[in-house]
């Protein structure tokens, strides 16, 4: 892997357009559950069964209990070496964009600013009835109410079966169409539309790199595949860059 790592490192040219996609594997190294495999259950519920609009409509108190537990858990997590390395990469490569599928806010806490949160944020809430939305770090009551209209607030995340936040996919596709280098980090490449970003970037001429603990459906499409912990690999890639 060392030869491939050095080749990828040489591609991190400040004059290139670089797009990075991150997934749950990056935050797992900070202790954030992935909700796959052994982490797939909360109490007796599958996370995928709670992160749905119909689940919230039927049992909002249960869904809010789940999300308040997640918020409390993530509040105790810190950005890891992978998060920090991507923030350094952004500082040293002017034409850079980080697209994350994660909702924990750890990239922003690490210093990333050229950041698109595809699936929203655990720290954002919005009203189910009016247009009110806000960042909310403080602990929330079991069923938080909108301060504007009194209706129920919901987590500001994209649930299964919901469209992405308006404009997010358009921006991602536009940036991928101009990328010289596309790097996916810590993602299983199973969830659409992000799983298609690799092929889209490749179709537009980008060099593609996969960084993940294990092979994914996109490994065979990658120009380079670096398998291991993102928190080990990314610091090596940015070694020599000045933060």
Catalytic positions are: 119
DSSP string covering 104-127: S-HHHHHT--SEEETTEEEEEEEE
Instruction: Please give the Cα distance from 128 to 13 (Å, whole number).
Output: 45
Cα angle for residues 226, 6, 205 (degrees, 5° grid): 70
Residues 140 and 64 sit within 8 Å (Cβ to Cβ)? yes
CB atoms within 10 A of CB 54: 11
Beta partners for residue 45, in sequence order: 42
Residues 213 and 188 sit within 8 Å (Cβ to Cβ)? no
Pairing of β 224-227 and β 133-135: unpaired
Instruction: Please give the Cα distance from 243 to 132 (Å, whole number).
Output: 37
Which H or E run contains 135? strand 133-135
Which H or E run contains 98? strand 96-100
Backbone angles phi, psi at 98, to 5 degrees: -110, 120
Instruction: Please give the Cα distance from 17 to 176 (Å, whole number).
Output: 9
């Amino acid at each position: 892997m060392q030869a491939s790592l050095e080749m990828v490192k040489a591609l991190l040219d400040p004059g290139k357009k670089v797009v990075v996609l991150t997934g749950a594997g990056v935050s797992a190294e900070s202790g954030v559950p992935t909700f796959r495999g052994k982490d797939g259950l909360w109490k007796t519920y599958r996370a995928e069964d709670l992160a749905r609009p119909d689940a919230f409509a039927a049992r909002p108190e249960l869904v809010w209990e789940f999300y308040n537990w997640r918020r409390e858990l993530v509040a105790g997590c810190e950005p890891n070496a992978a998060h920090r390395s991507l923030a350094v990469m952004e500082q040293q490569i002017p034409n850079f964009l980080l697209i994350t599928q994660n909702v924990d806010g750890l990239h922003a806490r690490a210093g990333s600013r050229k950041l698109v949160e595809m699936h929203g944020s655990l720290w954002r809430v919005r009203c189910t009835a009016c247009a009110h939305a806000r960042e909310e770090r403080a602990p929330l009551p079991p069923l938080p109410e909108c301060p504007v209209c009194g209706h129920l607030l919901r987590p500001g995340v994209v649930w299964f079966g919901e469209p992405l936040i308006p404009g997010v996919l358009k921006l991602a596709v536009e940036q991928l169409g101009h990328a010289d280098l596309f790097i996916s980090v810590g993602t299983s490449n199973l969830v659409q539309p992000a799983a298609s970003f690799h092929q889209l970037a490749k179709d537009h001429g980008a060099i593609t790199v996969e960084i993940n603990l294990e092979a994914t459906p996109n490994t065979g499409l990658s120009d380079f595949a670096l398998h291991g912990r993102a928190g080990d690999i990314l610091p090596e890639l940015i070694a020599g860059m000045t933060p």
